[in-house]
A = this chain, B = another copy of it.
């Protein structure tokens, strides 16, 4: 009877009772002094190298090897304090809940696709975005996983997704992401239509269920990935990647991607890209180096070369220097290519 009383009473403190929990608050704050030449904002800047995160996550042990997982992750700009790019949704990083057990991990919500999450291990900057890193522009061949979301949204996540990661069998793992066809507020995409009748109207549903599959294999110093993905406007991408460690301190890696946009383009439907790189650890220091190219067919190549150095002050904090050059071709042939140079010096702190 006492219990009933308490159950109805508004304590004023916390309307909904809930069992005790343990939420981990975590994140990344990376800021540096950078300069990129030949861009609109060609000036010394305070900017970031990594994506900056503030997240909340937890694991609940349900017994019998079963666990409940949740993770919510904000992304932000450290130099101005805004949400990432000042336009991203609250939990741009991810918002997922699910179960983990002997069957693997199954989650619902929003997050990186299987391909986008797997390919980072084969990128010499560990999947950091450009300028020095390769993932955003080269490694995914300019492909976007989520063309049917609001303008400014992230390019490598699925909203309304179901995410599955298998257990690791003898070094082998399969990851599958499938999204619904739900409309997510995109602007019109003309595609093979016309301005008056775009192929995908504003706030269109996907014309096929977006999916992403990656299979990874690890055997001692060797690791490899095969992946395929289709987005909401039926662009397709496949990718193969591998890494090898001839020494414990040295990791060599490479990846190749091919994108097919024939569902929305009449010409130049295929784009391919490759990235080679290495990481070499010396004491508290780590050298990063990479080179890559992207070639939309019939169009001149984009080429990028980068070197970086990270010096660890602790397992959570390092200082870094990056130098990179990106050649972006002019389509007008009588002009030279643009050589975009990039310099960065900063601090990266995980918390």
Query: Which A residues lie at the B interface, using CB under 8 A?
Result: 1, 4-5, 7-15, 18-19, 21, 23, 25-33, 41, 43-46, 54, 56-60, 62-63, 66, 68-72, 74, 76-83, 86, 89-100, 104-105, 107-110, 112, 114, 117-118, 121, 149, 159-163, 165, 168, 171, 173, 175, 179-184, 205, 216, 218-221, 223, 245, 313-317, 346-347, 349-351
Q: Could you show 29 A-B contacts with beta carbons less than 8 Å apart?
A: A4-B218, A8-B173, A9-B216, A10-B175, A10-B216, A11-B100, A12-B69, A14-B71, A19-B350, A21-B350, A21-B351, A23-B351, A25-B25, A31-B108, A33-B108, A46-B182, A63-B314, A78-B95, A78-B96, A78-B97, A79-B95, A79-B108, A80-B95, A81-B94, A81-B159, A82-B91, A86-B89, A97-B349, A108-B347
Neighbouring B residues of A33 by C-beta, 8 Å: 108, 162
Main secondary structure, interface of A, reads: strand
Q: Closest 9 A-B residue pairs measured CB to CB?
A: A12-B105, A81-B91, A31-B108, A29-B97, A46-B160, A82-B89, A23-B25, A19-B315, A12-B165
Chain B residues near A31 (CB-CB < 8 A):
96-97, 108-109
Shortest distance from the beta carbon of A119 to any chain B beta carbon, whole Å: 11
Chain B residues with CB under 8 Å of A99's CB are: 313, 347
Known: A78-B110, A180-B45, A317-B68. A56 touches B95 (CB 8 A): no
Contact partner, A90, options B9, B21, B82, B107, Cβ 8 Å: B82
